[in-house]
């Protein structure tokens, strides 16, 4: 079973026996892209207020969402999430955003919030002499690795970037990850069908970190496949976030960065029990009043 199917199946369990959450709105950044990180993501909002972020600059996704993103209001979010596993293009992106939003709604029901991040590279802590792999070239993160004395190899899909780059190497061959002590990737691998290919070469790594605003889906299936930490954006001011996103302004102050380590995660079953307990207590209180 693919990671997308496994995560969606767990979300179906999480919301079983209750009315399916519905889509309230799709929030898009300005088009065309303004060149900033803040303009790379959209957010799907559920009727309970939960937001799920997704990267929208793959191919023509942003333009397609702007043209056909209407009509989502009232959509069954679980049905939409299945498109992450079964669809392509913009529809797959919407499915991923729905899975992200449903995860946030589930965490909220369970009263769970992941801990704050201590840095922007998922606590990777590069050390002199270590070999660090990076999936996709992310210039702002390069110095955070090389400045610590670690050797950096970047695996890319863009052939034009391949070669030596003043302190690090870019290759098109994911097999280069096999000799890495630590690996850093972003949640884009969940959208472009490269996750399994990447993880197949990471068995020897002590740490495999997935970061980025889109890294917010249920982590159980990722942890089971070898990811050791997931670091994402936890929206703390939804209204402020939505205004900033629509205006093409930085939205980071409306969110906090979190870092969820595999060993510190309670697990789906424990959170599902907590969510059920909270729902039961709410029903009792409603009955008593």
For 172-219, how does the pLDDT look when each residue is reduced to its tens digit (9 = 90+)?
999 999 999 999 999 999 998 889 999 999 999 999 999 999 999 999
pLDDT at 266: 98
Q: If you average pLDDT over every residue of the chain, what do you get?
A: 93
Domain residue ranges in the chain? 3-113+237-252
Domain spanning 3-113+237-252 has what CATH number?
Answer: 3.30.390.100
pLDDT at site 282:
66
Q: Rounded to an integer, what distance in angstroms lies between the CA atom of residue 158 and that of residue 122?
A: 25
Please report which confidence band the pLDDT of residue 287 belongs to, taking 50, 70 and 90 as the band edges. Answer: very low
More confident residue, 221 or 280: 221
Q: What is the reported pTM?
A: 0.93
* pLDDT tens-digit map of 54-100: 999 999 999 999 987 778 999 999 999 999 999 999 999 999 999 99
End-to-end CA distance of the chain: 45
Q: Tell me the pLDDT tens digit for each residue of 35-56.
A: 888 899 999 999 999 999 999 9
- pLDDT given at position 119: 93
């Amino acid at each position: 079973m693919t990671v997308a199917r496994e995560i969606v199946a767990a979300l179906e369990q999480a919301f079983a026996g209750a009315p399916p959450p519905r889509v309230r709105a799709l929030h898009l950044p300005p088009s065309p892209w303004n060149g900033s990180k803040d303009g790379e993501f959209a957010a799907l909002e559920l009727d309970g207020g939960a937001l799920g972020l997704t990267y929208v600059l793959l191919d023509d996704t942003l333009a397609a969402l702007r043209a056909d993103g209407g009509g989502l209001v009232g959509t069954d979010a679980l049905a939409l999430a299945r498109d992450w596993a079964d669809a392509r293009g913009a529809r797959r992106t919407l499915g991923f955003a729905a899975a992200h939003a449903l995860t946030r709604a589930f965490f909220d029901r369970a009263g769970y919030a992941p801990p704050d991040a201590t840095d922007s590279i998922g606590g990777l802590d590069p050390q002199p002499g270590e070999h660090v792999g990076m999936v996709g070239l992310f210039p702002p993160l390069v110095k955070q690795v090389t400045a610590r004395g670690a050797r950096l190899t970047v695996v890319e899909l863009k052939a034009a970037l391949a070669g030596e780059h003043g302190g690090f190497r870019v290759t098109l061959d994911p097999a280069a990850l096999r000799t890495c002590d630590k690996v850093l990737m972003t949640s884009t691998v969940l959208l472009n069908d490269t996750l399994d290919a990447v993880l197949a070469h990471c068995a020897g790594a002590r740490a495999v970190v997935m970061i980025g605003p889109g890294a917010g889906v249920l982590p159980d299936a990722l942890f089971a496949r070898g990811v050791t930490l997931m670091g994402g954006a936890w929206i703390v001011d939804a209204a402020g976030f939505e205004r900033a996103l629509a205006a093409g302004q930085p939205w980071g102050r409306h969110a906090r960065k979190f870092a969820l380590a595999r060993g510190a995660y309670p697990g789906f079953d424990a959170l599902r029990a907590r969510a059920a307990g909270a729902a039961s207590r709410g029903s009792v209180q409603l009955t008593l009043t």
